Amino acid sequence: MARARDKGIVVMMNKPPIITIVVARAQNGVIGRSGKLPWHLPADLKRFKALTMGSVMVMGRKTFESLPGLLPGRRHLVLTRALDWFAIGAEKAHSVQEALEIAGDEPVSVIGGADIFALFLPFASRIELTEVLEDVEGDTSWPDPRHSGSWREVASEVHEAEDGRPAYRFVTLERA
């Protein structure tokens, strides 16, 4: 809650949370294969940890189930239609609005999957994108948000291919 003063009166206002989409995407749009990332980029995993630490991570049930377990230093909020879904250590919401109410004024990191990204895209102010610089086979994809014209690139860091891993870029997008 934020406080605003107007002529000696204190008014409590909800401060909207900062919403960041954190996504890794191949140049052909693929973000997953059989419920997992179709590549292994240690630098991307390290960046993911740094970007999401201390935030409320919002994800779909399948993304939650793909995690190796609860990730320390972050709240896990699962957006699901299943009324009876439950997991120890995770919170549950059934709508974007409910998820944002549960998050309160804490920063929100939306981490997948594709349907969850699409639901939160209108509310996000930032996208942290790892762009894998090759076409990759997969069964889940997400369109390039830059094609909408609503996003502008504010930072980019290129990493060359090495040790059999593809080249990639870390890209930060902000709403235009």
pLDDT in tens, 130-162: 999 999 999 999 999 999 999 999 999 999 999
pLDDT in tens, 35-78: 999 999 999 999 999 999 999 999 999 999 999 999 999 999 99
Q: Residue 93 half-sphere exposure, CB side, CA atoms within 13 Å?
A: 21
pLDDT in tens, 96-126: 999 999 999 999 999 999 999 999 999 999 9
pTM: 0.90
Mean of per-residue pLDDT scores for the chain:
92
Cα 137–Cα 139–Cα 144 angle in degrees, nearest 5? 80
Which tokens is 109 given? 């990191």
